Chain A
Amino acid sequence: MPVEIGKSWADDVEELEDQGIEETVDDEGVRTVTQITTNEDGKKVKIVRKFRRVEKRTLVNHQVAERKTWAKFGAEKNSKPGPNKATTTVGENVTLKIHPGSKAAETEQQEQVKNPLAGKKVKCRLCQGEHFTTKCPYREVLQSVGIEDVNPDDVPPAGAAAAQPGAKYVPPHRTGGGESMTRTRDDLPTLRVTNVSEDATDDDLRDLFSRFGRVHRVYIGRDRETGQGKGYAFVSFEDRAVAERAMQKVHGMGYDNLILNCQWSQPREARPAPA
């Protein structure tokens, strides 16, 4: 197509686009606007929009009617009458349902979020009374017999059974202690500790749990990218009795401003599928 002299190539493109728009009005007043454009992939696209214009008549007073004829000024000077698409658009439909009590439902939900303990009984971890542990009147007395009283001497050394004089030799794997070639990780008595501080390290937890006996392995769940703790850990003991005692003592214990939660770790197969 020969380009006319004195005409910008930009105008040329616009003209081509304009050609694609067709507007028809049928008997019922439905306007059909058909637009044929080329999309980013270079394919021709036909866009059909159908709409009906509804005239709304309102009676206004003279001042208002007069103001509608005012000339535009400022940034809108010399603009065409009618809304400018650059500044005025129509948004998505929004609904306003007027009904009572929308607040009540909301606040109830809020309350639940705010106080998840509401309705639950407060139980002291020390004396089992109906108050918070920190408010416990027997705190001073009972706490001293708590976690701190674990005496390293009470902890039976691994393979103690085997070391008892006069007893028959029992292979370590039969005593429940010790480690054997055939034992896998899952066979070890493992505790799942949750609500662990993000900053806790393997060594911190090892320190904590080795008071009760020999700790085979400590694993802290960490975020793959940031390496920050996810708040749970697995602690494997060598002896089931030790693990049980550790669980009883550590469950509900305060650690780094958080209350630890300690349970038997479920083997992977037995764990219920995540919801």
Chain B
Amino acid sequence: MRPILLQGHERSLTQIKYNVDGDLIFSCSKDHRINVWYSHNGERLGTYDGHNGTIWTVDVDSESRFLVSGSADNMMKLWEVKTGKCLFTWEFPTAIKRVAFSDDDSLIACITEQRMGHQGAVRVFPVNRNGTGTEQTQEPLSMFHPIESKATVLTFGTTSDQIITGHESGKITLYKTKTGDEVVSNKRAHREVVTDIQMSPDRSYFITSSKDKSAKLFEAKTLDELKSYVTETPLNSAAIAPKRPYILLGGGQEAMNVTTTSLRQGKFETRFWHKVFEEEVGRVKGHFGPINTIAVHPAGTSYASGGEDGFIRVHHFDDSYFRARPYGDLEPEED
């Protein structure tokens, strides 16, 4: 397959998201810019300009109408996807590290960084979808402070009344959205900071990646570990491929150590692991630096990886990918 290289960022990528239909790719980076691309040909549709700091995170609603972004300039912004207009800005005392839309588009959850005497917090805002979208409330629906270790990543759980967070200590916790009560927690999920969390298509389980060089599948209600994928490099991102039983892992050596080793040793490849058999089944190389974020097309036909090198590589899978049956008849049936 020939990847499409998207060179719209001048600094390292922080997060990539496909919209629900998979025709748009949203990317954000440390260069203060959010780009949106057509996934089929890599054409850039536009940019969302207005942030004045590293943009750590973006998420898009299911109608591809609103985009929410969180940045190191302590602002969370709501954008109109179609025009690139900023509709609303929330301001916080510290940087926003992760944002997420709920499945029903009614809520936005965000993590604010623990810094300058401020506790790290998870806030949930209601989204007013009536009118132009410029009338939002500054008042969070709920707000809670994760105890012990600060939260680094979050996603809504199986339903929008649950939030799952990944923490710096490696634990994962399930909270009630409305009250912030801890429902269940898995303290031994990972041994180091959780770097990414992505839900499965049916939202019944999710994958986490961690700097402890492993990625794991967890049950979304009990947080029981289902599968574990242990690699030899710290991982920055993990994604579940729909339609085929694969897991995509991205990572590589820490950015600060990259210059000390060669490209080969850095292991800047996207690894494909078999979801069930927990075995590596393939690799795709191409990045010159660690992979920071991976997103898979909701229909499983392509995936995009964003690296510390500032490139996004969009790969449309070949027929051979869909035909391959590495384990023959043992292959599990997918939806």
Listed in ascending order, the chain A residues whose CB lies under 8 Å from chain B are 58, 60-61, 63-64, 67-68, 70, 72-77, 79, 81-84, 86-104, 106, 110
Q: Which residues of A contact B320 (CB under 8 A)?
A: 96, 98
Are A72 and B45 within 8 A (Cβ)? yes
Asked if B3 is an interface residue, CB under 8 A from chain A, the answer is yes
Shortest Cβ distance from A110 into B: residue: B232
Are B2 and A93 within 8 A (Cβ)? yes
Q: A61-B21, A75-B49 are in contact. List 10 more A-B contacts (CB 8 A).
A: A63-B21, A74-B47, A76-B46, A86-B7, A88-B41, A92-B3, A99-B281, A100-B279, A100-B327, A104-B279
Bound CA span A89–B313, Å:
10
Are B49 and A96 within 8 A (Cβ)? no
Q: Which residues of B contact A97 (CB under 8 A)?
A: 282
Are A76 and B315 within 8 A (Cβ)? no
Q: Which 7 residue pairs of A and B lie closest in terms of their CB atoms, listed nearest first?
A: A74-B47, A103-B280, A98-B324, A73-B46, A73-B84, A88-B42, A74-B46
Q: Which residues of B contact A93 (CB under 8 A)?
A: 1-2
Q: Given the interface contacts A61-B21, A75-B47, A93-B2, does A102 sit within 8 Å of B280 by beta carbon? A: yes
Q: Which residues of B contact A74 (CB under 8 A)?
A: 46-49, 84
Are B82 and A70 within 8 A (Cβ)? yes
Can you spell out 8 A-B residue pairs with CB atoms less than 8 angstroms apart? Answer: A73-B83, A87-B7, A88-B5, A88-B42, A90-B2, A95-B1, A99-B281, A103-B279
Asked if B135 is an interface residue, CB under 8 A from chain A, the answer is no
Asked if B239 is an interface residue, CB under 8 A from chain A, the answer is no
Q: Which residues of B contact A95 (CB under 8 A)?
A: 1
Return B242 CB to nearest CB of chain A, in Å: 16
Return A55 CB to nearest CB of chain B, in Å: 13
Are A96 and B1 within 8 A (Cβ)? yes
Are B318 and A96 within 8 A (Cβ)? yes
Are B4 and A100 within 8 A (Cβ)? no
Q: Given the interface contacts A77-B46, A96-B318, A98-B272, does A90 sit within 8 Å of B4 by beta carbon? A: yes
Are A83 and B326 within 8 A (Cβ)? no
Secondary structure at the A interface, as helix, strand, loop or mixed, is: loop
Q: Which residues of B contact A104 (CB under 8 A)?
A: 279
Are B47 and A73 within 8 A (Cβ)? yes
Bound CA span A100–B23, Å:
31
Are A98 and B43 within 8 A (Cβ)? no
Q: Which residues of A contact B3 (CB under 8 A)?
A: 90-92, 94
Shortest Cβ distance from B43 into A: residue: A83
Are A96 and B284 within 8 A (Cβ)? yes
Shortest Cβ distance from A61 into B: residue: B21
Asked if B88 is an interface residue, CB under 8 A from chain A, the answer is no
Are B46 and A96 within 8 A (Cβ)? no
Are A91 and B2 within 8 A (Cβ)? yes
Listed in ascending order, the chain B residues whose CB lies under 8 Å from chain A are 1-8, 21, 23-24, 33, 37-38, 40-49, 63-64, 82-84, 232, 246, 272-274, 277, 279-286, 313, 315, 317-318, 320-321, 324, 326-327
Contact of B282 among A63, A73, A98 (CB under 8 A): A98
Q: Given the interface contacts A96-B1, A96-B284, A98-B326, does A84 sit within 8 Å of B43 by beta carbon? A: yes
Q: Given the interface contacts A83-B42, A100-B274, does A64 sit within 8 Å of B283 by beta carbon? A: no
Bound CA span A103–B317, Å:
21
Q: Given the interface contacts A63-B21, A75-B47, does A99 sit within 8 Å of B41 by beta carbon? A: no
Q: Given the interface contacts A67-B24, A70-B82, A93-B1, does A101 sit within 8 Å of B279 by beta carbon? A: yes
Shortest Cβ distance from A103 into B: residue: B280
Shortest Cβ distance from B229 into A: residue: A103
Bound CA span A103–B229, Å:
11
Are A82 and B43 within 8 A (Cβ)? yes
Bound CA span A215–B280, Å:
57
Are A94 and B48 within 8 A (Cβ)? no
Are B46 and A72 within 8 A (Cβ)? yes
Q: Which residues of B contact A96 (CB under 8 A)?
A: 1, 272, 282-284, 315, 317-318, 320-321
Q: Given the interface contacts A60-B23, A87-B6, A88-B7, does A94 sit within 8 Å of B46 by beta carbon? A: no
Return A253 CB to nearest CB of chain B, in Å: 33
Q: Which residues of A contact B47 (CB under 8 A)?
A: 73-76
Contact of B23 among A64, A90, A94, A102 (CB under 8 A): A64
Are A94 and B326 within 8 A (Cβ)? no
Shortest Cβ distance from B42 into A: residue: A88
Return A61 CB to nearest CB of chain B, in Å: 7
Are B2 and A106 within 8 A (Cβ)? no
Are B272 and A70 within 8 A (Cβ)? no
Return A169 CB to nearest CB of chain B, in Å: 64
Are B5 and A102 within 8 A (Cβ)? no
Q: Which residues of B contact A75 (CB under 8 A)?
A: 33, 44, 46-47, 49
Are A100 and B285 within 8 A (Cβ)? no
Q: Which residues of B contact A72 (CB under 8 A)?
A: 44-46
Are B283 and A102 within 8 A (Cβ)? yes
Return B32 CB to nearest CB of chain A, in Å: 12
Q: Which residues of A contact B7 (CB under 8 A)?
A: 86-89
Q: Which residues of A contact B2 (CB under 8 A)?
A: 90-94
Are B42 and A102 within 8 A (Cβ)? no
Shortest Cβ distance from B21 into A: residue: A64
Bound CA span A197–B44, Å:
57
Are B272 and A88 within 8 A (Cβ)? no
Are A88 and B44 within 8 A (Cβ)? yes
Q: Which residues of B contact A86 (CB under 8 A)?
A: 7
Bound CA span A93–B285, Å:
10
Are B46 and A100 within 8 A (Cβ)? no
Q: Which residues of A contact B313 (CB under 8 A)?
A: 91
